[in-house]
Chain A
Amino acid sequence: MATTTATITLSSADIQSDVLALTKQATLHKGGTTTGLNQTTGLQKTIFTATTNIVLFDSTVLGIGGASKVYIANKSTDPSEFVTITINAQIVGRLYAGDWMFTPWSQSDAAGNIELQPSTVSSLPVEYMMIHNGITQTSA
């Protein structure tokens, strides 16, 4: 079993009159257990050059009903450039330049893919990684 931790720190001295300094750490476990997630896609990087909606993580391939963790970061430095994240055609949100997200993903059904659509055809770099407990092995 592997031990992988994800730590978030939210900081601001001026978004409210009380200083925001929140730090939380999670150890990434298989769903409902204290056994560490032990597989990963590795950190991937793609430079997108079209505004086509693409499947970033395919729920069927990765195994329906999983308890994966997904990281996606928009590495553009142009503030106007974003990628739209959807799950089964439901828009979750936009990741603007420099933004990242880290969420659980349960791959609830065959249509529950995580998809991404860039806002621009200019080169837009995105990094992404999934940490999971196994994928569906299919015959060649």
Chain B
Amino acid sequence: MATTTAQLVITSTDLLSDSLSLSAIATLTNAGSATGMTQTTGLARKKTESTSLYILYDQSALAVPAASAHKIYIKNLSTTAAEYVTITVNAEEVGRLYAGDWCFFPWSAHDASNDISITPSVSSALTIEHMLFFES
């Protein structure tokens, strides 16, 4: 078993009148257990050059188990503030990841249509990094 941690720190001194300094640390484990997740796609980089939909994680192709505790990391490496990628789960829009933004979220991979996809806002080159942690 592997030990993998994901830490989030959100800070701000001026969003509220009280300073914000939130920290959360998760140890990535298999669903319903304390056993560490052992598999990953590794950190990948993808350059897009169209506004078409790109499937990042294909539930069928990966054949990962359903209703699990998989985790996904995506970062938009663009430095142009207006450029974003729209993240969808089975065609349902989650949100827009603008330049410099990253996200980290669970993926249940509960059926064949439950793919994770991105749609870039521009047809010029836009690069993202992404990584999947999964259980078998």
Contact = CB atoms under 8 A, between A and B. Distances in A.
A82 B106 CA distance: 11
B7 A87 contact: no
Contacts, number: 199
Contact of A102 (B34, B37, B40, B103): B103
B32 A88 contact: no
Interface residues of A, number: 63
Interface string B101-119: 1111111101000100000
A96 B34 CA distance: 10
A108 B93 contact: yes
B contact patch SS:
strand
- Which of A11, A93, A129 is most buried by chain B, counting CB atoms within 10 A of its CB? A93
B108 A29 contact: no
A140 interface: no
B124 interface: no
B94 A93 contact: no
B92 to A, nearest CB: 4
Given A8-B7, A99-B26, A94 B106 contact: yes
B102 A4 contact: no
A139 B32 CA distance: 45
Interface string B1-25: 0111111111111111000101010
Contacts of A90: 89-92
- Which of A10, A11, A80 is most buried by chain B, counting CB atoms within 10 A of its CB? A10
29 contacts: A3-B15, A4-B12, A7-B7, A8-B104, A9-B9, A10-B4, A12-B4, A16-B40, A26-B100, A26-B102, A27-B100, A29-B81, A32-B81, A40-B15, A71-B10, A80-B33, A87-B89, A87-B94, A90-B90, A91-B114, A93-B70, A94-B106, A96-B29, A96-B106, A99-B71, A100-B6, A100-B24, A102-B103, A105-B95
Interface of B: 2-16, 20, 22, 24, 26-27, 29, 31-34, 36-40, 42-43, 67-71, 73, 75, 81-82, 84, 86-87, 89-98, 100-108, 110, 114, 131, 133
Given A8-B73, A90-B90, A129-B10, 5 more contacts: A15-B4, A15-B37, A91-B108, A103-B104, A106-B94
